[in-house]
Amino acid sequence: MKSEVIPARVQRCTVITVNTRDYTVDVRQEFQPYAALFDIPFASPYCHQNQGEGINFMPEPGSTCWVC
């Protein structure tokens, strides 16, 4: 099977809901086809399990995000 390298598709979206247990968000595309995307994982830049060191953030519903 021949594989082909294609460029990434980046979409501007709006956060609809946030799942704080699984660190996922549901988003809606801001441009056509305006589709909803579900259970998109998000990451904190750095999070250390020992004594809570690092940076931890949670997206908010209504905020803009970029999905690749």
- The confidence score (pLDDT) of residue 47 equals 62
CB 26 within 8 A of CB 36: yes
Interatomic CA distance for residues 57 and 25, integer angstroms: 13
pLDDT 10s digits, 10-51: 999 999 999 989 889 999 999 988 999 999 998 777 666 776
Q: Which residues contact 33 (CB under 8 A, 6 or more apart)?
A: none
For tokens 């709006």, the residue is 14
Sign for the CA dihedral angle at 15, 21, 22, 23 comes to positive
Is the entire prediction scored with pTM above 0.85? no
Q: How confident is the model at residue 52 (pLDDT cuts 50, 70, 90)?
A: low
